[in-house]
Amino acid sequence: MATRSAEEYKTGLNDGRALFFKGNRVEDVTRHPDLGVGMEHASLDFALAEDAAYQDLMTVKIPETGETISRYFVSPTNTGDLLKRREMIETSTRLGGGVVLLIKEIGTDALFALSLVAKRIDEQYGTDYLKRVEAYHQHCQQEDLSMAVAQTDVKGDRSLAPSEQTHPDYYVRVVEERADGIVVRGAKAHTTCAPYVDEIIVLPTRNLTEQDKNYAVAFAVPANAPGLKMIVSPFGASSSSDFHNPVSSHHRMIESLTIFDDVFVPRERVFMSGEWDFAGGLATTFVQFHRFTAISYKPPLCDLLTGAAALIAEHNGISRASHVREKLMHLINYAETVRALSKAAAVDCVQIDEVAIPNSILTNVAKFYFASNYHQMVSYVQDIAGGLVVTGPSEEDVTNPETRDYIEKYLGGAAGVPTLERLKLVNLIRDLTASDFGGYNELLAIHAEGSLEAQKITIYREYDLERCKSLAKQAAGIGDNA
């Protein structure tokens, strides 16, 4: 098996995994009305791989074996591979209502990072991690598995190191070494798609010192591993009404608090255990790939916001107003800057061990620009759309014969625009910007793939300031260049 159908993916999820949602144990995620929305959305990944229109983009044929595999598993070796990967992510997100699918994107980001760092660890410590990572990569590729990445620990007091916390389990750690593997304890927060993937890949989240050796751990387990428990978040779901929430009733991601209650990890699935001096490097190498994924999936949402704003301006008869044009220009500028920077990050990649790593400065600049301007862009859309976004009538009143005609008469807009279409557009804008899902999008923009400060630190640390300083010295006629 090298590619699976959407049905095969979904069937495989009914495996006894320990999920809890709103106070209840979820017996079968595939039949759950709320979690099922996330699963159906994610299953688009498999559907596209089978769709003649997208097969060439979503899959590749391995020349040696003739086998077709998901393109996500291809380690990028050059700019062309990275551009294809970003196109695949942007396209599947656009087809998914502007919501990234994220059941292979993030997992393969982790696999690429693990292979680069495992080699370094092996060179220093004589371990055999690279062999294990490669075998695991092959396994996921061959079985066409979906993966979540649990990197962000719950962290307790952010100013303290893992071993300085009030209890030792605020970061995932090794609690027992066995001949055939390790036992891990702790919890990771915000694990996207974890309730409906096959595998959970765990990575360290920060730099560590020797004192925190036991927290330097990376591994992979199936989502139904004994002791693995997920408390699933209900937030970000607005309603199941297609009318009220045209996007989020079909397309959304779901996160979990992912708890490792003494989970055994067999030796062959352990990719780091105790090599504290590589924990920070693994965390940042993963982030290099994952922020590139981020800036590849952001443009469709930007386009959706721009399109909705342009349409509602027409529906309200204000599309010629200069302030509206200016706001639309900002929205276009925003979307195209993120898109262009993501392409530039692929073009200006660096190659290490035959793996192409997206340009770090450009990737972080793009992610920071997107995140720090998102709320402003939402405010432009809301400004153009007007208050009806949060005061409009319900689906029930639109269909009730007693109220329908009033709504039809009084909530019309520019001549020729059917009232119902105008209301649907207003609902789209509420769904994207002012619903539970809209709020989720705002938090996603700021924190997912690392908070704003994380990008600032990377940009400052990695930028070649010396080049600029030397130019300034030359212009000023000081120092060596005088």
Q: Which of 84, 119, 155, 250 binds ligand FAD (CB under 6 A)?
A: 155
According to DSSP H, which parts of 386-429 are helical?
388-391, 395-399, 401-410, 419-429
Nearer to ligand FAD (CB atom), residue 206 or residue 267: 206
Q: Does 209 bind ligand FAD (CB under 6 A)?
A: no
> Smallest distance, Å, CB 136 to ligand FAD?
18
Which residue's entry shows tokens 């699933």?
232
- Which residue lies nearer to ligand FAD by CB, 213 or 252? 252
Helix (H, G, I), strand (E, B) or coil at 148: strand
Considering only CA atoms, which of 137, 107, 102 is closest in space to residue 269? 137
Q: In Å, what is the CA distance from 68 to each residue of 128, 321, 462?
A: 29, 52, 38
Total residues binding ligand FAD (CB under 6 A)? 20
Residue in 64, 210, 402, 453 binding ligand FAD, rule: CB under 6 A:
453
Least distance between ligand FAD and beta carbon 216 (Å): 16
Structure tokens given for 103 = 């059941």
CA distances 335 to 94, 373, 416, Å, are 13, 11, 30
Q: Which stretch binds ligand FAD (CB under 6 A): 50-58, 184-192, 217-225, 263-271?
A: 184-192
Strand 199-202 to 147-150 pairing = parallel
Judged by CB under 6 A, the residue of 33, 63, 158, 179 near ligand FAD is 158
Q: Least separation, in Å, of the C-beta of 448 and ligand FAD?
A: 4
Q: Which is nearer to ligand FAD, 265 or 444 (CB)?
A: 444
Q: Which residue has the tokens 């030792």?
A: 168
Question: Tokens for 143?
Answer: 């079985």
Which of 68, 75, 152, 224: binder of ligand FAD (CB under 6 A)? Answer: 152
150 binds ligand FAD (CB under 6 A): yes
φ, ψ dihedrals at 409, nearest 5°: -75, -45
207 binds ligand FAD (CB under 6 A): no
Binding status of residue 204 toward ligand FAD by CB under 6 A: no
Task: Tell me the C-alpha distance between 193 and 220, whole Å.
Answer: 15
Please, which residue, 257 or 310, has the CB nearer to ligand FAD?
A: 257
**Whose Cβ is closer to ligand FAD: residue 39's or residue 149's?**
149
389-408 mask for ligand FAD (x: CB under 6 A)?
--------------------
CB of 188 to ligand FAD, least distance (A): 6
Q: What is the dihedral of CA 164, 166, 172, 178, to 10 degrees?
A: 90
Nearer Cβ to ligand FAD (106/279): 106
For residue 240, give both structure tokens.
């199941």
Nearest distance in Å: CB 41, ligand FAD: 14
Q: Which residues of 328-363 are buried (b: 16+ CB within 10 A; e: fewer)?
A: bebbeebbebbbebbbbbbeebeeeeebbbbbbbbb
By C-beta, is 24 or 159 nearer to ligand FAD?
159
- Helix segments in 186-321, DSSP class H: 279-315
Q: How far is the CB of 114 from ligand FAD (least distance, A)?
A: 14
Min CB(106)–ligand FAD separation in Å:
6
Can you list the positions of beta strands (E) in 22-114? 24-26, 59-61, 68-70
Structure token digits, residue 336: 């195209």
93 near ligand FAD, judged by CB under 6 A: no
**How many C-beta neighbours within 10 Å does residue 276 have?**
19
Q: What is the pattern of x (binds ligand FAD, CB under 6 A) and - over residues 110-129?
A: --------------------
Q: Interacting stretch for ligand FAD, rule CB under 6 A, among 15-23, 167-175, 183-191, 410-418?
A: 183-191
CB of residue 129 vs ligand FAD: minimum separation in angstroms? 20
Can you tell me the distance from the alpha carbon of 350 to that of 359, in angstroms, rounded to the nearest whole number? 6
Tell me how far, at minimum, the Cβ of 170 lies from ligand FAD, in Å. 11
Task: Using CB atoms within 10 Å of the CB of residue 157, give its burial: 0 to 12 exposed, 13 to 18 middle, 19+ buried.
Answer: exposed
CB 154, min distance to ligand FAD, A:
8
Token pair in block for residue 122: 């092996």
Q: Footprint of ligand FAD on residues 413-452 (CB under 6 A)?
A: 443-444, 447-448, 450-451
Pairing of strands 217-222, 199-202: antiparallel
Which amino acid, one-letter code, is at 114? L
255 binds ligand FAD (CB under 6 A): yes
| Cβ neighbours of 15 (radius 10 Å) | 13
Residues that bind ligand FAD (CB under 6 A): 106, 149-152, 155, 158-159, 188, 190-192, 255, 443-444, 447-448, 450-451, 453
